[in-house]
Amino acid sequence: MDDAANKYKLGLEPQRGEVMLTRYALDRGIRYLLLLSALVSIFVVFLIGLFTLREGLPALREIGLDTLLTGRVWRPGREEFGLLATIAGSVLATIGAMILGVPLALGCAVFLAEVAPPRIRDLVRPAVELLAGIPSVVYGLFGLVVLVPLVRQIPVPGNTGFGLLS
Protein backbone atom coordinates (compact mmCIF):
# COMPACT_ATOMS: atom_id res chain seq x y z
CA MET A 1 0.00 0.00 0.00
CA ASP A 2 1.12 3.52 -0.64
CA ASP A 3 1.48 6.25 2.02
CA ALA A 4 -1.74 8.07 1.04
CA ALA A 5 -3.82 4.95 1.60
CA ASN A 6 -2.14 4.29 4.97
CA LYS A 7 -2.79 7.85 6.15
CA TYR A 8 -6.42 7.54 5.13
CA LYS A 9 -6.85 4.28 7.02
CA LEU A 10 -5.19 5.66 10.15
CA GLY A 11 -7.36 8.78 10.10
CA LEU A 12 -4.41 11.16 9.61
CA GLU A 13 -5.96 13.04 6.70
CA PRO A 14 -7.83 16.13 7.85
CA GLN A 15 -11.57 15.89 7.54
CA ARG A 16 -13.45 18.29 5.27
CA GLY A 17 -14.81 20.27 8.22
CA GLU A 18 -11.33 20.68 9.71
CA VAL A 19 -9.98 22.02 6.41
CA MET A 20 -12.89 24.48 6.14
CA LEU A 21 -12.40 25.59 9.75
CA THR A 22 -8.68 26.14 9.17
CA ARG A 23 -9.35 28.13 5.99
CA TYR A 24 -12.02 30.16 7.78
CA ALA A 25 -9.63 30.97 10.64
CA LEU A 26 -6.90 31.93 8.18
CA ASP A 27 -9.35 34.09 6.22
CA ARG A 28 -10.49 35.83 9.41
CA GLY A 29 -6.92 36.40 10.50
CA ILE A 30 -6.02 37.97 7.17
CA ARG A 31 -9.15 40.14 7.27
CA TYR A 32 -8.22 41.44 10.72
CA LEU A 33 -4.65 42.08 9.58
CA LEU A 34 -5.88 44.04 6.55
CA LEU A 35 -8.34 45.98 8.72
CA LEU A 36 -5.53 46.83 11.13
CA SER A 37 -3.33 47.96 8.22
CA ALA A 38 -6.12 50.18 6.88
CA LEU A 39 -6.75 51.71 10.31
CA VAL A 40 -3.04 52.39 10.82
CA SER A 41 -2.88 54.06 7.39
CA ILE A 42 -5.90 56.24 8.16
CA PHE A 43 -4.40 57.15 11.54
CA VAL A 44 -1.06 58.13 9.97
CA VAL A 45 -2.79 60.33 7.37
CA PHE A 46 -4.82 61.92 10.18
CA LEU A 47 -1.60 62.62 12.13
CA ILE A 48 0.03 64.17 9.05
CA GLY A 49 -2.99 66.42 8.57
CA LEU A 50 -3.00 67.37 12.25
CA PHE A 51 0.72 68.19 12.16
CA THR A 52 0.31 70.29 9.00
CA LEU A 53 -2.64 72.16 10.50
CA ARG A 54 -0.84 72.75 13.81
CA GLU A 55 2.31 74.07 12.11
CA GLY A 56 0.54 76.13 9.44
CA LEU A 57 -2.30 77.66 11.44
CA PRO A 58 -0.19 80.38 13.14
CA ALA A 59 1.13 81.56 9.77
CA LEU A 60 -2.35 81.41 8.26
CA ARG A 61 -3.72 83.53 11.13
CA GLU A 62 -0.98 86.11 10.60
CA ILE A 63 -1.29 86.30 6.81
CA GLY A 64 -5.01 85.70 6.44
CA LEU A 65 -6.71 83.20 4.16
CA ASP A 66 -8.02 85.88 1.79
CA THR A 67 -4.55 87.39 1.33
CA LEU A 68 -3.04 83.96 0.80
CA LEU A 69 -5.57 82.94 -1.85
CA THR A 70 -5.88 86.27 -3.68
CA GLY A 71 -2.32 87.58 -3.43
CA ARG A 72 -0.49 87.58 -6.76
CA VAL A 73 3.12 87.52 -5.55
CA TRP A 74 5.00 84.79 -3.69
CA ARG A 75 8.13 86.21 -2.06
CA PRO A 76 8.61 84.64 1.38
CA GLY A 77 11.78 86.70 1.97
CA ARG A 78 9.71 89.90 1.74
CA GLU A 79 6.78 88.42 3.66
CA GLU A 80 4.56 88.37 0.55
CA PHE A 81 2.52 85.18 0.31
CA GLY A 82 0.11 84.96 -2.59
CA LEU A 83 -1.04 81.76 -4.24
CA LEU A 84 -3.29 83.15 -6.97
CA ALA A 85 -0.66 82.91 -9.71
CA THR A 86 0.30 79.40 -8.64
CA ILE A 87 -3.32 78.24 -8.53
CA ALA A 88 -4.11 79.86 -11.89
CA GLY A 89 -1.01 78.30 -13.45
CA SER A 90 -1.97 74.87 -12.13
CA VAL A 91 -5.52 75.21 -13.44
CA LEU A 92 -4.32 76.37 -16.87
CA ALA A 93 -1.73 73.58 -17.09
CA THR A 94 -4.40 71.04 -16.13
CA ILE A 95 -6.82 72.37 -18.75
CA GLY A 96 -4.07 72.30 -21.37
CA ALA A 97 -3.14 68.74 -20.45
CA MET A 98 -6.79 67.70 -20.68
CA ILE A 99 -7.21 69.40 -24.06
CA LEU A 100 -4.28 67.36 -25.35
CA GLY A 101 -4.76 64.19 -23.33
CA VAL A 102 -8.49 63.42 -23.47
CA PRO A 103 -8.82 63.27 -27.28
CA LEU A 104 -5.57 61.31 -27.53
CA ALA A 105 -6.67 58.83 -24.85
CA LEU A 106 -10.16 58.39 -26.29
CA GLY A 107 -8.78 58.00 -29.80
CA CYS A 108 -6.27 55.41 -28.65
CA ALA A 109 -8.93 53.51 -26.70
CA VAL A 110 -11.39 53.47 -29.61
CA PHE A 111 -8.65 52.48 -32.03
CA LEU A 112 -7.47 49.59 -29.85
CA ALA A 113 -10.98 48.38 -29.05
CA GLU A 114 -12.67 48.75 -32.43
CA VAL A 115 -10.28 49.37 -35.32
CA ALA A 116 -6.83 47.91 -34.69
CA PRO A 117 -5.95 44.56 -36.21
CA PRO A 118 -5.26 41.91 -33.54
CA ARG A 119 -1.53 41.94 -34.23
CA ILE A 120 -1.21 45.68 -33.66
CA ARG A 121 -3.61 45.54 -30.70
CA ASP A 122 -1.53 42.82 -29.04
CA LEU A 123 1.59 44.94 -29.53
CA VAL A 124 0.24 48.35 -28.48
CA ARG A 125 -2.11 47.44 -25.60
CA PRO A 126 0.65 46.26 -23.18
CA ALA A 127 2.65 49.41 -23.95
CA VAL A 128 -0.36 51.62 -23.19
CA GLU A 129 -1.07 49.70 -19.98
CA LEU A 130 2.57 50.06 -18.95
CA LEU A 131 2.50 53.82 -19.58
CA ALA A 132 -0.75 54.12 -17.61
CA GLY A 133 0.88 52.38 -14.65
CA ILE A 134 3.78 54.83 -14.36
CA PRO A 135 3.18 57.51 -11.70
CA SER A 136 2.81 61.07 -12.99
CA VAL A 137 5.75 62.18 -10.82
CA VAL A 138 8.03 60.07 -13.02
CA TYR A 139 6.75 61.88 -16.11
CA GLY A 140 7.39 65.19 -14.36
CA LEU A 141 10.94 64.17 -13.53
CA PHE A 142 11.45 63.09 -17.14
CA GLY A 143 10.23 66.51 -18.28
CA LEU A 144 12.55 68.27 -15.86
CA VAL A 145 15.63 66.23 -16.76
CA VAL A 146 15.09 65.73 -20.51
CA LEU A 147 12.62 68.27 -21.90
CA VAL A 148 13.68 71.41 -20.01
CA PRO A 149 17.27 71.29 -21.37
CA LEU A 150 15.89 70.77 -24.89
CA VAL A 151 13.43 73.68 -24.61
CA ARG A 152 16.22 75.89 -23.22
CA GLN A 153 18.03 75.55 -26.53
CA ILE A 154 15.18 77.28 -28.41
CA PRO A 155 16.47 80.79 -29.19
CA VAL A 156 13.69 82.91 -27.69
CA PRO A 157 14.38 85.98 -25.52
CA GLY A 158 13.83 85.25 -21.83
CA ASN A 159 13.59 81.48 -22.35
CA THR A 160 14.48 79.66 -19.14
CA GLY A 161 13.17 76.30 -20.28
CA PHE A 162 10.65 76.18 -17.45
CA GLY A 163 7.34 76.77 -19.19
CA LEU A 164 4.26 75.07 -20.56
CA LEU A 165 6.26 73.62 -23.48
CA SER A 166 8.37 71.56 -21.13
Buried b or exposed e, range 132-165, using 16+ CB within 10 angstroms: eeeeeeeeeeeeeeeeeeebeeeeeeeeeeeeee
pLDDT in tens, the chain (166 residues): 555 555 555 555 656 666 676 788 888 899 999 999 999 999 999 999 999 999 989 888 888 888 888 888 888 788 778 889 889 988 998 999 899 999 999 999 999 999 999 999 999 999 999 998 999 899 889 988 988 888 888 887 877 767 666 6
Reported pTM: 0.57
Domain spans in the chain, listed from the N-terminal domain onward: 1-63, 136-166
